[in-house]
Each structure stands twice: as structure tokens, then as C-alpha cells.
């Protein structure tokens, strides 16, 4: 396995671990994040999402 392939595999594994960590965190805490469309959202443990700020048109 080349160095580039090793790095790609490490990135893949880190992405999987991050997704699992974030899913667990969302079950226990209020998480604020930015959606791909630019909206800023609060996610509550009960599954409720509140948009704090809408994306601004450019």
C-alpha cells in the first residue's frame, strides 16, 4: 500500500469515527452546526431542530 493509499484509508476511518461520535453526541447534547446550504441549526436530543440563522443570499 502506498503512502497516499494509507492516508486515504486513515481519512476514511476518521470520517467513520467522526460520524459515529456526532450521532452519539446528538443523542445527549444540544449541537449547533452549519448545514451545507449555509443555515445555522441547533439540534436537540429529542430530535428537534431549530434554525438559528438562515443562509444569506449572495
pLDDT per position as a tens digit, 14-29: 999 999 999 999 999 9
Q: Does residue 23 form part of some domain?
A: yes
Instruction: State how far the Cα of 37 lies from the Cα of 55, in Å rounded to an integer.
Output: 7
Q: Does residue 47 form part of some domain?
A: yes
Q: Does residue 12 form part of some domain?
A: yes
pLDDT for 57: 76
Q: Does residue 18 form part of some domain?
A: yes
Least Cα distance to 26 among 47, 10, 6, 12 occurs for 47
The count of structural domains within the chain is: 1
Q: Does residue 58 form part of some domain?
A: no
Q: Does residue 42 form part of some domain?
A: yes
Tell me the residue range of the domain where 40 lies: 3-53
pLDDT along the chain (58 residues), means of 10: 95 97 95 94 95 87
Instruction: State how far the Cα of 58 lies from the Cα of 50, in Å rounded to an integer.
Output: 23
Amino acid at each position: 500500500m502506498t503512502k497516499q493509499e494509507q492516508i486515504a484509508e486513515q481519512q476514511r476511518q476518521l470520517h467513520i469515527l467522526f460520524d459515529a461520535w456526532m450521532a452519539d453526541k446528538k443523542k445527549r447534547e444540544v449541537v449547533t452546526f452549519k448545514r451545507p446550504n449555509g443555515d445555522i441549526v441547533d439540534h436537540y436530543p429529542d430530535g428537534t431542530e431549530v434554525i438559528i440563522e438562515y443562509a444569506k443570499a449572495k
